[in-house]
A = this chain, B = another copy of it.
Amino acid sequence: MTGSRAGDYRILHEAALRDYLAGQPDLAALLGGEPASWAITEVGDGNLNLVFIVTGGRAGIAVKQALPYVRLVGESWPLPLSRAHYEYLALSRQAQLAPGLVPALLHHNEALALTVMELLTPHIIMRKGLVAGTRYPRFTGDITTFMARTLFFTSDLARSAAEKKEGIAAFAGNHALCKITEDLIFTDPYRIAEQNRWTAPYLDALAASLRDDMELHVAISRLKLKFMASPEALIHGDLHTGSIMVTDGETRVIDPEFAFYGPMGFDVGAVIANLLMAYFASAGHERAPGERAAFEAWVLETVEAVWNEFSRKFLALWRTEAAGDAYPVSLFPGEKGAARLEAERQAWMQRLFADTVGFAGAKTIRRIFGLAHNIDFELIEDPKVRAISEARAVRLARTMMVETAKCPDIGSVTSAARELHNWMPEFSKDWGAYS
């Protein structure tokens, strides 16, 4: 699936892309009709890449090309094209491990940092659906299968230590993408940084208090070190609701360019954090108070189900597919051994839960005080209303990061969220209108 020589990179805008695709017989046949008739539209709304939808007489495809810089910022922030290689590698692995839950790969050109995938239609970015208040009945089942299988089967529980080390080495070169996470999630929101922004002036005091909160800084530093130096499994690395495309009946996880061997809780925490943000943002999208109550209840049920189902599926795999070098079954013989190993699996899962909760908190705070925000909050037009929703999310996030004893299980997280639904931050106390 790899293409021409290194050094051949050029940005393919519409005309060049048309020529390139016309020169690939399989893709041209798939599209169908004359190349001149293909409709080509640039649709990338992410932060990093060009994304085209190309539609021919017979079918459509999605074409993703990495740019040598961060699209959100521009050429002043260069970013290696090699990320397309790691994305392709991760997508290939995920397709093996979680078939049907990632887009089908059609073509990859290493030199052009270009990947062609099936066109997902009528799928939409899940985050947009959540902003609109749409429920996705398949989501919990699909995302927990995706996470349980991709994380378990690339971990020490399923792989030999040698295979695991080869995997770590294969993704070690993706450090520029890791660095973005290290800076934008684990460092900048907690200090003065040019790229930070928040809903000013309402959250100015909260931003300052986070910068002054040394317990929180210890928590984020521990999480950062865990992110950097705990290669537990091949993680997606950016598993928010903007990296998930959905219909009522299907779920596809896209954009694994941040993939590397890291802590499992970072992926699970990303899903949970983004659901919690959808929950806190929901009130801001109501036309009438209480209008989205059923949707909000579904979101919190989904938070619980995501953890519970993920945990159940992961443990089931561990019980039946443990071919790795960790926790050898030969050390847990007989009934007594099996019982002790099962108790240890539960303890292990409890540690993963603690990581998950911490990372979920970190993923929330970065969306409110860091560079990259999300439309859950951003599309709330009234900045006062937005700030209240954000403040509620931040209050829970800090608890999740610092007061871990208050979050022993997923039910305690959703209870805390529910209790914050109508909580009014100090700065809003004299407004009176949002109780």
Residue A340 lies at the interface, judged by CB distance under 8 Å to chain B: yes
Residue A214 lies at the interface, judged by CB distance under 8 Å to chain B: yes
Of the candidates B191, B220, B344, the one whose C-beta lies within 8 Å of that of A218 is B344
- Assess whether B191 is in contact with A165, with CB atoms less than 8 Å apart: no
CB distance from A9 to the nearest CB of B (A): 22
- Assess whether A331 is in contact with B217, with CB atoms less than 8 Å apart: yes
Interface segment out of the listed A53-61, A82-90, A269-277, A322-330: A322-330
**In the complex, what residues of B have CB within 8 A of residue A41's CB?**
none
Copies of this chain in the oligomer: 2
How many residues of A sit at the interface, in one of the four size bands? 35 or more
CB distance from A83 to the nearest CB of B (A): 14
Q: How far is the CA of A337 from the CA of B218 in the complex (A)?
A: 10
Residue A336 lies at the interface, judged by CB distance under 8 Å to chain B: yes
CB distance from A7 to the nearest CB of B (A): 23
Residue A238 lies at the interface, judged by CB distance under 8 Å to chain B: no
Main secondary structure of the interface of A (DSSP, over half): helix
Q: How far is the CA of A225 from the CA of B326 in the complex (A)?
A: 6
**In the complex, what residues of B have CB within 8 A of residue A168's CB?**
168-169, 172, 231
Given the known A-B contacts A191-B331, A331-B187, are A229 and B231 also in contact in the complex, defined by CB atoms under 8 Å? yes
**In the complex, what residues of B have CB within 8 A of residue A214's CB?**
332, 336-337, 340
Q: How far is the CA of A235 from the CA of B335 in the complex (A)?
A: 38
Closest to A159 in B: B228
Residue A120 lies at the interface, judged by CB distance under 8 Å to chain B: no
- Assess whether B156 is in contact with A165, with CB atoms less than 8 Å apart: no
CB distance from A223 to the nearest CB of B (A): 11
Beyond the given A164-B229, A168-B169, A229-B232, please list 19 additional residue pairs across the A-B interface where CB-CB is below 8 A.
Answer: A156-B225, A161-B175, A161-B179, A168-B231, A169-B172, A182-B325, A187-B328, A187-B330, A190-B331, A214-B332, A214-B340, A217-B331, A220-B331, A221-B328, A221-B344, A225-B327, A229-B231, A229-B326, A231-B231
